[in-house]
């Protein structure tokens, strides 16, 4: 849980209140000056209405240059960011021909496979020549190739499950498969900070949804016990099915799931475990097999394992791994399998090749070196940020490290100042996070060298001093400690 200092919370509320007041003030005068203009949609309700529209017009547009920045190179350790200009106070942005070479701290390129690779790229090009860029068909029609069959077998072996099914989009893997797994009369117990794809999938299922406090096994047990005792609403019949949904690494917090404790509780109460490993598979664990390997959990104790190929594998799509019976059931019922175009063959080949590199099946030790480097880079960067006085969320070994910003004025200030010094960062605010908990989300890659990380730390430290986001006292440097000792002597 994040504990916000009272003064920080007060100033953040005041800033949002001021923005809201000025926005309402501008809207009031806008209505006065526009009242005589005839509407082309007389009788229609406004298609954009409510606080969401107000937030976009009066708050988001002020800082939209900090989001959606186009790039024109692979998302490697360094990439090219296209500069944009606005002539109407940020309402619209136009691309220019100018390009800035920036250090990439925003992409999910955890193992560095997003750029050209000596083993993966030639095989991807060969698959493009053989199969073309798309199957132009769903899996059940003409969209299944030999590469898709090989990919599903490869994924199942990699994660330690009997079978797997792959989809063309990571978000859809959750949002389309959850409604197939459970429906009315079932109970979903979800971590309070689960990803939006899980939230939408759970809502679409029609099942009863309950939330437990983020990463708190004791509260999960309390929720489970209470709802098993109560049964279904109104009828109080036993639940048809109970699924507990958690993430391996929480993408906005950088925290590792307390999986051993959660699995033990689910076993006790006979609930299924659904594990989303979008950010953990390939990135953590001795051989990159995710949080189960890192935390010593037997994959047989996790009933449904979900993951994506968009992070560690440098591709696209997602997967579900489980028992053969479960996967066969999904192949006959899942909309993402029945109706959506199958994953692109070159993208599938990229995943297969990346897994082979990770496991050392390419005949080299590059995979082990990448895994060691991402772990070293992540722990070094997190440690140095904390020493500087930043409030950094997350656990060791996690490549995701949010730096808390809080105040709305500091969101664009941090992003713009970093970009000026050729460091590209991702900033996150409402509605992706709670209103008060805006942050910059740093993603570390195995492609980053120590020089890259040191440069990033220097820039972030300078910008942190300028913007005022070092909420804790910095640790004294070794040189200062030695000088103090000399003076005392």
411-424 pLDDT tens trace: 999 999 999 999 99
**Across 121-132, average pLDDT:** 96
Domain ranges (residues) in the chain:
48-104+365-488, 119-359
- 323-358 burial string, b = 16+ CB within 10 Å, else e? eeebbeebeeebebbeebebbbbbbbbbbbbbbbbb
Say if residue 430's pLDDT is above 90. Answer: no
Angle at which helices 120-131 and 345-359 cross, to 10°: 150
Say if residue 460's pLDDT is above 70. Answer: yes
The per-residue pLDDT for 48 is 74
Say if residue 489's pLDDT is above 80. Answer: no
Q: Cβ distance 77 to 448 under 8 Å?
A: yes
**Across 481-487, average pLDDT:** 52
**Across 9-26, average pLDDT:** 91
The per-residue pLDDT for 26 is 87
485 vs 106, which has greater pLDDT?
106
pTM: 0.92
**Across 439-462, average pLDDT:** 97
Token output for 382 = 């997190």
Per-position DSSP letters for 396-444, written without gaps between them = TT-SEEEEE--STTHHHHHHHHHHHTTEE-EEE-TTTS-TT--EEEEE-
Distance between CA 208 and CA 230 in Å, rounded? 13
Say if residue 227's pLDDT is above 70. Answer: yes
The confidence band for 488, taking pLDDT boundaries of 50, 70 and 90, is very low
**Across 310-335, average pLDDT:** 96
Q: Cβ distance 193 to 250 under 8 Å?
A: yes
**DSSP 3-state of 484:** helix
Say if residue 5's pLDDT is above 90. Answer: no
Token output for 145 = 């190739």
The per-residue pLDDT for 374 is 97
The confidence band for 478, taking pLDDT boundaries of 50, 70 and 90, is low
**Across 229-238, average pLDDT:** 93
DSSP 70: -
The confidence band for 167, taking pLDDT boundaries of 50, 70 and 90, is very high
**Considering the domain 48-104+365-488 in this protein, what is its CATH number?**
3.90.1150.10
Mean pLDDT of the chain: 92
The confidence band for 401, taking pLDDT boundaries of 50, 70 and 90, is very high
Say if residue 486's pLDDT is above 50. Answer: no
Span 119-359 CATH architecture: 3-Layer(aba) Sandwich (3.40)
The per-residue pLDDT for 41 is 59
Token output for 295 = 């935390």
- The percentage of the chain sitting over the pLDDT mark of 90, rounded to a whole number, equals 82
The Cα-based distances of 99 to 76, 187, 442 in angstroms read: 16, 51, 22
**Across 183-199, average pLDDT:** 96
The confidence band for 40, taking pLDDT boundaries of 50, 70 and 90, is low
Distance between CA 252 and CA 487 in Å, rounded? 45
217-226 pLDDT tens trace: 999 999 999 9
The confidence band for 480, taking pLDDT boundaries of 50, 70 and 90, is low
């Amino acid at each position: 849980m994040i504990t916000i200092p009272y003064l920080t919370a007060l100033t953040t509320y005041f800033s949002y209140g001021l923005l809201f007041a000025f926005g309402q003030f501008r809207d009031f005068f806008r209505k006065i000056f526009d009242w005589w203009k005839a509407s082309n949609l007389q009788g229609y309700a406004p298609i954009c209405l409510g606080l969401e529209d107000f937030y976009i017009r009066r708050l988001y547009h002020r800082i939209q240059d900090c989001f959606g920045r186009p790039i024109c190179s692979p998302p490697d350790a360094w990439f090219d960011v296209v500069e944009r200009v606005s002539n109407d106070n940020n309402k619209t942005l136009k691309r220019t021909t100018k390009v800035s070479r920036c250090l990439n701290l925003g992409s999910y390129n955890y193992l560095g496979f997003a750029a050209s690779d000596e083993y993966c790229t030639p095989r991807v090009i060969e698959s493009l020549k053989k199969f073309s860029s798309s199957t132009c068909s769903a899996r059940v029609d003409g969209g299944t190739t030999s590469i898709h069959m090989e990919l599903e077998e490869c994924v199942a072996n990699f994660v330690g499950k009997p079978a797997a099914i792959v989809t063309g989009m990571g978000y859809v893997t959750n949002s389309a498969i959850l409604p197939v797994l459970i429906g009315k009369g079932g109970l979903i117990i979800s971590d309070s900070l689960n990803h939006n794809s899980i939230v939408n999938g759970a809502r679409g299922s029609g099942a009863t949804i309950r939330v437990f406090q983020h990463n708190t096994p004791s509260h999960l047990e309390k929720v489970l016990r209470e709802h098993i005792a109560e049964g279904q609403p109104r009828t109080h019949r036993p639940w048809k099915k109970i699924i507990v949904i958690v993430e391996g690494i929480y993408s906005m917090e950088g925290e590792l799931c307390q999986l051993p404790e959660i699995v033990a509780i689910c076993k006790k109460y006979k609930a299924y475990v659904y594990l989303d490993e979008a950010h953990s598979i390939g990135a953590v664990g001795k051989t990159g097999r995710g949080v189960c390997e890192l935390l010593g959990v037997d994959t047989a104790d996790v009933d449904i394992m979900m993951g994506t190929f968009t992070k560690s594998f440098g591709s696209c799509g997602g997967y579900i791994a489980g028992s053969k019976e479960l996967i066969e059931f999904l192949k006959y019922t899942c909309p993402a399998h029945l109706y959506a175009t199958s994953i692109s063959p070159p993208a599938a080949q990229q995943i297969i090749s990346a897994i082979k590199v990770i496991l050392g099946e390419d005949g080299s030790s590059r995979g082990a070196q990448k895994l060691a480097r991402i772990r070293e880079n992540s722990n070094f960067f997190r440690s140095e940020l904390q020493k500087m006085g930043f409030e950094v969320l997350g656990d060791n070994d996690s490549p995701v490290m949010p730096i808390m910003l809080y105040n709305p004025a500091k969101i664009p200030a941090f992003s713009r100042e970093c970009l000026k010094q050729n460091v590209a960062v991702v900033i996150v605010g409402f509605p992706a996070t709670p209103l008060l908990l805006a942050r910059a989300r740093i993603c570390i890659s195995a492609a980053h060298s120590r020089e890259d990380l040191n440069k990033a730390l220097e820039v972030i430290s300078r910008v942190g001093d300028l913007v005022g986001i070092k909420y804790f006292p910095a640790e004294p440097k070794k040189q200062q400690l030695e000088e103090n000792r000399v003076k005392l002597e």
